[in-house]
Structure 1
Amino acid sequence: MIRMERRGFLKVMAAGAAIVAVNPSLIRGTLYADDGRLYMAYEKVQLVDGAGNPIKASSLEKEVTYIFNYPYASTPCMIINLPEPTQQEVTLKSEAGEEYVWKSGVGKDRTIVAYSAICAHQLTHPTPNDSFIKYVPKATPTMAYSKSGIIVCSSHLSAYDASAGAKVLGGAASQPLAAIVLTVADDDTIWAVGVLGSDKFQDYFRAFKPELKDFYNGIAQGKQLVSISAKTVKLTEYSKEIIQY
């Protein structure tokens, strides 16, 4: 991972602003600056279904939690097609105090969002056995917050605003979920290109070594970067049991 000082960052931005505006996935490394950027580029990966067919943005069911692993083979993420357009230009802050800007949802109506499914509190995440974290549809009540249509970790009732960059709404979480940066191509296919915000990947790797052995054939395999495509399925297909309060 590359960490650039602000002065060097601004020089790069001045020289290549047009490239950044067109394709942020061309940036390699993590960028920190006063203008609100905190972004890590990874491989550009296409989201596909269980049969390997490209998933189209228009085919995502509304308010359904889908799971794919990115940017590592063992790090689960969620993608959700919200019922309404998201907020735009949301300023967020990591637990270390670093500010960054979440632009908006993607797709024709700006309703599609993706986030790391590793809770920022104590790393609760979906596994093939169970999941305590999911998007709670607007019509489904939750103990975590006064209204639904949010992401809830039922382990300790941390609540995140799915429409605003996974901003913390309540509970013990000290920062938003890391956002997965998506692009939707002209043919309606969906691609993951990077991670925005402070992620919990290294903490996750340290805390769940036995799990990596059980589900991913070892720690090294679990830490491999995803390339080319990422299998994307409904949470109900990914986990045997889903717990929601």
Structure 2
Amino acid sequence: MDRRNFLKIAGVGAAIAIAPSTITGRLYASEGALFQSYEKVQLVDANGKPIKASSLKQETNYVFNYPFVGTPSILLDLGEQTAENVTLKSEDGEEYLWKSGVGANRSIVAYSAICSHQLAHPTPDDSFLQYLPRGKKTMACEQSGIMVCSSHLSAFDTKKGCKHIAGPAEQPLASIVIEVDKDDNIWASAVLGPDKFHEYFKAFKPEFKKYYGGKRKAKKRVMDNALTVTLSEYTKEIIQY
């Protein structure tokens, strides 16, 4: 799809006939340390139709912008159950609890796609940060099935809350709290863990003007729904070492 259309649609509320109040099931994050609620939004495709959890291709990077119009996130169905009740720690030493993945197989996760080291992130031009499927190789570490930032070769364990496992990053990637409702729809509702949004918005003013029409527009909160596409649709070049 046209990348300009993605940037125009992302965060703009197309009419979705399902209210957040219809969600059932427990929230997979504990309110408390390093937990921030945002608008509850539904993940949708380019036609405004809800993304179904059962339709996700396993080990495929999907991109949606949340909680702000200019902050990319990555959605994954890992194809395997995640760990449960993982204790993680920020670079300041503050601990928080990541509960698990969601969905029928507890394999669906979402993370902020802003690297916790030096803020590398996917753009419509290129992406240095993405999930590396099982069996693939990376210079970052011997393990696969992980999130890798090829900018400085940091790696994160996607089955354990994106815990930092290699490279210069000093803390996990922030988690996007997602839920799957009784109709198999996916919703994002909060951010868990130490986010880098403040530093990010200070660092990339020319980029925000290029892609979003300015910093002010990029900092708007996503409302109602978030367009979700594969990383290969979102960006021109995927860079991974």
TM-score band w.r.t. shorter chain = 0.7 to 0.9
Q: Which residue is equivalent to 1:119? A: 115
> Rg bigger for which structure?
1
Q: Does 1:152 find its partner at 2:158?
A: no
CA distance in structure 2 between the aligned counterparts of 1:96 and 1:196, rounded to whole angstroms: 15
Q: Which has the higher contact order (CA 8 A, sep 6+)?
A: 2
Report Cα offsets for 1:81-122 as digits up to 9, x if no partner.
Answer: 002100000000001111000000000000000000000000
TM-score, L = length of structure 2: 0.87
Give matches, 1:127-138, under 5 Å.
127-138=123-134
Q: Which residue is equivalent to 1:240? A: 236
Which runs of 5 or more structure 1 residues have no equivalent in the other structure?
1-20, 33-37
1:221: Cα distance to partner? 0.4
SS in 1 for 2:160: coil
Q: Which residue is equivalent to 1:190? A: 186
RMSD of aligned Cα (Å): 1.6
Conserved 8 A contact 2:28-2:102: no
Sequence identity percentage: 58
CA distance in structure 2 between the aligned counterparts of 1:104 and 1:149, rounded to whole angstroms: 16
CA distance in structure 2 between the aligned counterparts of 1:214 and 1:120, rounded to whole angstroms: 23
1:132: Cα distance to partner? 0.4
Q: Does 1:57 find its partner at 2:53?
A: yes
Q: Does 1:229 find its partner at 2:225?
A: yes
Q: Does 1:215 find its partner at 2:211?
A: yes
1:145: Cα distance to partner? 1.0
CA distance in structure 1 between the aligned counterparts of 2:65 and 2:181, rounded to whole angstroms: 20
CA distance in structure 1 between the aligned counterparts of 2:152 and 2:75, rounded to whole angstroms: 22
Amino acid across the alignment from 1:126: P
Report Cα offsets for 1:139-172 as digits up to 9, x if no partner.
Answer: 2111111121000000010000000000001000
SS in 2 for 1:104: coil
Aligned residue-pair number = 217
Q: Which residue is equivalent to 1:15? A: none
| Runs of 4+, deviation exceeding 4 Å | 21-25
1:24: Cα distance to partner? 8.1
SS in 2 for 1:163: helix
Q: 2:163 aligns with which of 153, 167, 188?
A: 167
CA distance in structure 2 between the aligned counterparts of 1:50 and 1:148, rounded to whole angstroms: 30
CA distance in structure 2 between the aligned counterparts of 1:95 and 1:51, rounded to whole angstroms: 40
Q: 2:73 aligns with which of 67, 74, 77?
A: 77
Report Cα offsets for 1:160-211 as digits up to 9, x if no partner.
Answer: 0000000001000010000000010000000000000010001000000111
Amino acid across the alignment from 1:231: L
CA distance in structure 2 between the aligned counterparts of 1:70 and 1:156, rounded to whole angstroms: 24
1:124: Cα distance to partner? 0.1
Q: 2:86 aligns with which of 81, 86, 90?
A: 90
CA distance in structure 2 between the aligned counterparts of 1:123 and 1:81, rounded to whole angstroms: 24
